Amino acid sequence: MSALKERFSILSSLMALAAVTFVFAAELALAQQRIRITEGQVAPTPIAVAEFTNLGGEISDAGREIAEIISNDLLSSGLFDPIDSAAFIAPPKSPAIRPNFANWAPLGAKGLLVGSAEIDADGKLQVEFVLWDVITQRDITSGSGNASPDGLRQLAHKIADFVYEEFTGDAGYFDTQIVYVAESGTQSRRVKRLAIMDQDGHNHRYLTSGLDLVLTPRFSPRSHEIAYLNYFNDEPNVYIHDIRTGRSERLGSFPGMTFAPRFGPRGDKLIMSWAKNGLTDIYEMDLSTQEISQLTKSASIDTSPSYSPDGRKIVFNSDRGGRQQLYVMNTDGSDVNRISFGDGRYATPVWSPRGDIIAFTKMTGGRFYIGVMNVDGSGERLLAEGFLVEAPTWAPNGRVLMYFKQEPFENDGTGGETALYRVDITGFNERRVITPSDASDPAWSPVR
Amino acid sequence: MTGRPIFISVIMHCFAAVLVFVGLPSLKRDLPKDMPLVVMEIVQTVPKTNLIQGYKPNTAKEEKEPTIRKKQPAFPPKPPATKSAPAPKPVPKTKVEPVPDPKPEPKEPSPAAEVIPEKPTVKPKLSKVEAVQAPEAKPHVLPKSLPKQKPKRQKLKMPKTKPTPPKAAPKKPRTTKPTQTINAQANLAARVNKLVKDEQKRKQAATGVLQNLAKVKNQAEEAKKRRKEQERKKASDELTKTLSAAAGNAQKAPQPPRNMKIGVDVIDRLRMHLRDFWTPPPGAAGNDSLIVDIIVVIDSESNVLKADIEDRLRMSLDKYFKASALAAQRAMVDSSPLPIPHNPNGQQREFIFEFDPAFMSR
């Protein structure tokens, strides 16, 4: 009986296998032909941003300004090519009305943003918008919001973020701020102040008076705190500035010099360099308990630490190998590995918010460069070059880098102009960021 | 000992189940509905006209068959009669040419136009589909303007004429109604009787004539009835055969034309063509997993009727994939018509386009 059962089970298994094989073969026979497309183009996406209308279908001043801000944001990214509104055949009257795509396709537009902006009885700005795909004639996304009239720019930046995200997959970064060191005066009597502005240069204001020299500001992930180095009474120390209250506070009292601060990914910790007794090492401070732990112990200069987005690794630069290079270690200071092996010196590493690459400053052949490399040191690419190019900072989406460039000084002491620039990680679309005065040491805020 | 075979059996069944779920992805997606297929037998009857005109759309008419098929069940007995009424007219006119039937074909074109609009589901294609319909209408016009084509098409619906053409005499009786023939015969008989009575004087000869005439009448009547019955049977048989063949072919015909393979040279042309329309999002750079499959349905003139993103679930979960998928979908729709040779069968075809943004990382 057992032999019979065994034969039966084997037979049934084979039949099942045969049935599956048959179905699988039938599936293959009916499968559609696959055509692999491996070539495309890298070009800005043409998009039409219609001026926002009021309830009566007329273009309002607020609507015109909103459309202009969105267009400028998209244009500045280098990934969009907003179409001049003068070319519009029949501007839409309302986001509630389905546009006639026959009027937009000839313009080459792939996207169409239609919106309304109206100030209600309470004095609030009410905004609605719909983003259309002109090619497939479907709505991609839509939304609405309100703000006080002074919040118009922020509202427009947020809409631009929506558009950016839908077309690129990356989160938008237009509703962000830049804190930087505003410089003025002669080379010998240079005044350096903390200043903050929107990423497009608007809403500029100073955070410090300029009596003390300030350097290396860094945003907290909570976006309302800024850590920076302040030379108060000629004593350099790390301070925390609260944007909401306008107050600055020294971060503990340390003998020696603390500098190069940077917040942890959750904003609860801060790493920095501490120079004491002739040694410069990296320390981590728990902001809630004020406890400090030493992460590196070497006779060399370890500085410019930066957390990985997951908070598990730290990248920093050190001359422990005889020349300034980049190293990665665990957050407890263990497992230190060198990742840069190119010519020249590497400094100011910053881990991308996406976690995939690290930006750095490179000095070689008497020139400065801004570059990126994979977290294991491979795939090094240089994105910008100059007499002095330094201090890269990432946009929150990890697609854009900002840094500053300084021109050489002339013999008569003139020159030395310093300005902020930003570039896409592809190395294209480098743009100067307009500031009221010379600018250096930028830091990009998280999205508000 | 008994546990081993059971264990083997369980393993094999599990393997089979895994194969089904993992190896048959198409079971999880909704494949586009198959369009009714063309009856190839009809195409074969019109090759000459196709060659002369160099015109492809004849196949479009074939698609009309399905719509006719639906009507058949109600019509079979009557339609032939109603159609045969007008048919006789052309037959006498072209006694020598009575090969094809003009009426069935001209009616088919309109159903074909009805079939096509069902295909487009993607909005942007609507306009393109309308554009497709226009050219298809041309073939309908052309055959009308060409008198030669009409007779050829008549073949299909006028099988009755085939057997009859050789003999013109039997056709005439058809046109005369049976009541008329009976009256004529009665008159003839009356006349003969009168002649017989008047000429009774010629006794022997008269009786012989009457008998012969009666026999001739009976034979003629019987022959007519037989012919009519035979013709009706033949006509109905042919109609049912063609219609059932059409229905059968439509249901059983193989699908290959829908998934007809294209050559390497055409694929290269497609790649070149799509390169100008496909702009992957920058986030796709360095992301090898952002390969998007688009299921594309094109009509016989290679216009894109449908471009569906295959992995819709991932699209809702992964914003990078969503942007990549929408960019690929835009490229497919925007690039219509595709540089693929037209399908001579007039049928839709389906392909899967795999968009791989690896070039952005080079």
The answer, for B194 touching chain A at a CB cutoff of 8 Å, is no
B223 confidence band (pLDDT: 50, 70, 90): confident
CA gap A382, B283 in Å, rounded: 19
| Mean pLDDT score, A143-169 | 94
A412 confidence band (pLDDT: 50, 70, 90): confident
Out of B295, B307, B357, name the one closest to residue A40 (CB).
B357
pLDDT at B129: 28
| Residue A38 tokens, joined | 């491996």
Indicate whether B261 pLDDT > 70: yes
The answer, for B75 touching chain A at a CB cutoff of 8 Å, is no
Q: Quick one: closest CA in B to A170, which residue?
A: B283
Which H or E run contains B145? Answer: helix B123-145
Across the interface, do B282 and A9 touch by the CB < 8 Å criterion?
A: no
Q: Where are the domains of chain B?
A: 259-361
Given a contact cutoff of 8 angstroms between Cβ atoms, the answer to whether A45 and A111 are in contact is yes
| Residue B303 tokens, joined | 């216009």
Distance, C-alpha A126 to centroid of its chain? 29
Alpha helices in B203-348 (DSSP H): 203-252, 264-275, 312-317, 319-334
pLDDT digits (tens, 9 = 90+) for A214-250: 999 999 998 789 999 998 887 888 999 999 999 999 8
- What is the DSSP pairing of strand A381-386 with strand A388-394? unpaired
| Mean pLDDT score, A85-97 | 92
Distance, C-alpha A212 to centroid of its chain? 29
Across the interface, do B278 and A399 touch by the CB < 8 Å criterion?
A: no
The nearest CA of chain A is from the CA of B317 a distance in Å of 12
A320 confidence band (pLDDT: 50, 70, 90): very high
pLDDT at A388: 95
CA dihedral B114, B116, B120, B126 (to 10 degrees): -80
| Mean pLDDT score, B32-51 | 42
Mean pLDDT (chain B, rounded): 60
Does A223 or A363 have the greater pLDDT score?
A363
Given a contact cutoff of 8 angstroms between Cβ atoms, the answer to whether B278 and B355 are in contact is yes
A254 confidence band (pLDDT: 50, 70, 90): confident
Mean pLDDT (chain A, rounded): 91
A314-323, B48-57, B302-311: least confidently modelled range: B48-57
pLDDT digits (tens, 9 = 90+) for B335-350: 999 999 998 888 899 9
Indicate whether A369 pLDDT > 70: yes
The nearest CA of chain A is from the CA of B299 a distance in Å of 15
The nearest CA of chain A is from the CA of B26 a distance in Å of 8
pLDDT digits (tens, 9 = 90+) for B11-20: 999 888 887 7
A167-176, A189-198, A201-210, B214-223: least confidently modelled range: B214-223
Q: Which of B326, B329, B354 is the best mutation test for A, with the most CBs of A within 10 A?
A: B326
The nearest CA of chain B is from the CA of A421 a distance in Å of 20
Does B221 or A43 have the greater pLDDT score?
A43
Beta-bridge partners for B220: none
The answer, for B16 touching chain A at a CB cutoff of 8 Å, is yes
CA gap B37, B43 in Å, rounded: 12
The answer, for A378 touching chain B at a CB cutoff of 8 Å, is no
Q: Quick one: closest CA in A to B360, which residue?
A: A42
| Mean pLDDT score, B197-209 | 51
The nearest CA of chain B is from the CA of A94 a distance in Å of 21
Out of B16, B23, B275, name the one closest to residue A16 (CB).
B16
A142-146, A147-151, A252-256: least confidently modelled range: A252-256
- Counting Cα atoms < 13 Å in the Cβ hemisphere of A116 gives 17
For residue B323, give the nearest of A383, A171, A1, A129 by alpha carbon.
A171
Across the interface, do A110 and B330 touch by the CB < 8 Å criterion?
A: yes
The nearest CA of chain B is from the CA of A42 a distance in Å of 6
Per mean pLDDT, which of A58-67, B29-38, B41-50 is the most reliable? Answer: A58-67
A339-347: long-range pairs with CB below 8 Å, 24+: A339/A315, A339/A373, A339/A375, A339/A376, A339/A377, A340/A373, A340/A377, A340/A380, A341/A377, A342/A380, A346/A317, A347/A304, A347/A317, A347/A390
Residue ranges of chain A that CATH labels 3.40.50.10070:
45-168
Does A285 or A10 have the greater pLDDT score?
A285
Indicate whether A283 pLDDT > 50: yes
CA gap B316, B318 in Å, rounded: 6
Out of A6, A27, A101, name the one closest to residue B5 (CB).
A6
CA gap A395, A177 in Å, rounded: 10
pLDDT at B345: 84
Given a contact cutoff of 8 angstroms between Cβ atoms, the answer to whether B76 and B239 are in contact is yes
Does B205 or B270 have the greater pLDDT score?
B270
A45-168 placed in CATH 3.40.50.10070 = yes
Residue ranges of chain A that CATH labels 2.120.10.30:
177-444
pLDDT digits (tens, 9 = 90+) for B127-186: 332 332 333 333 333 233 333 333 333 333 333 333 334 343 344 334 334 444 445 555
Indicate whether B119 pLDDT > 70: no
Q: Which of A5, A6, A20, A37 is the best mutation test for B, with the most CBs of B within 10 A?
A: A37
Indicate whether A274 pLDDT > 60: yes
The answer, for B336 touching chain A at a CB cutoff of 8 Å, is no
B316 confidence band (pLDDT: 50, 70, 90): confident
* The architecture CATH gives domain B259-361: 2-Layer Sandwich (3.30)
pLDDT at B287: 72
The nearest CA of chain A is from the CA of B332 a distance in Å of 10
CB contacts < 8 A (A, B): 162
The secondary structure of residue A321, as a DSSP letter, is T
Indicate whether B39 pLDDT > 80: no
| Mean pLDDT score, A293-310 | 94
Which residue type occupies B87? A
Report the share of chain A in percent with pLDDT over 70.
96
Report the share of chain B in percent with pLDDT over 70.
38
The answer, for B278 touching chain A at a CB cutoff of 8 Å, is yes
A145-154, A311-320, B197-206: least confidently modelled range: B197-206
Backbone φ, ψ for residue A43 (5° rounding): -150, 150
A177-444 placed in CATH 2.120.10.30 = yes
| Mean pLDDT score, B57-77 | 35
The answer, for B321 touching chain A at a CB cutoff of 8 Å, is yes
For residue A242, give the nearest of A278, A283, A287, A284 by alpha carbon.
A287
Does B80 or A297 have the greater pLDDT score?
A297
B234 confidence band (pLDDT: 50, 70, 90): confident
Cis peptide leading into residue B337 (ω within 30°) = yes
Out of B24, B322, B354, name the one closest to residue A37 (CB).
B354
SS3 A219: strand
For residue A437, give the nearest of A82, A243, A193, A255 by alpha carbon.
A193
